[in-house]
Amino acid sequence: MTPFCARRLLLLGAAAGVTCVLAPAAATPPRLVTVRAKRFEFEPAEIHLVRGEAVTLEFTSLDVPMGFNLPDFGLRSDVIPGGVARVQFTPDRSGQFPFHCDIFCGSGHENMSGVIIVI
């Protein structure tokens, strides 16, 4: 599978809200980062990644339906209470990339955001 095809599948998976995505087989498993979402914050809100290192972001919601949206990498997923949402990707550039909740979840929704820092 080419990287391009893998990325298309990843985006399709994210759009469909599935909790498992396809990616090329890697020699080492992706690093796992768990993120808890609750009204109105992500924990952690600051995630440190390494450029070129595959990572799986694993989301759970403690209360209401949320969304994870990372526009700079074209990634999003629903985060539904009772389920686990996984987003797998390999950051290909360094920098600070904001993410936010994109499901309106209450009075503090607009402040529910975080940042991925890739070194």
User: What is the binding site for other proteins (CB under 8 A)?
Assistant: 65, 67, 69, 71-72, 98, 100, 102-107, 109-110, 113
Q: CB of residue 77 vs other proteins: minimum separation in angstroms?
A: 12
Q: CB of residue 104 vs other proteins: minimum separation in angstroms?
A: 4
Write out the H or E segment, with its range, that includes residue 38. strand 31-38
User: By C-beta, is 17 or 30 nearer to other proteins?
Assistant: 17
Q: Which residues contact 82 (CB under 8 A, 6 or more apart)?
A: none
User: By C-beta, is 56 or 69 nearer to other proteins?
Assistant: 69
Write out the H or E segment, with its range, that includes residue 10. helix 3-16
Q: CB of residue 14 vs other proteins: minimum separation in angstroms?
A: 12
24 and 52 in contact (C-beta within 8 Å)? no
User: By C-beta, is 44 or 98 nearer to other proteins?
Assistant: 98
Write out the H or E segment, with its range, that includes residue 5. helix 3-16
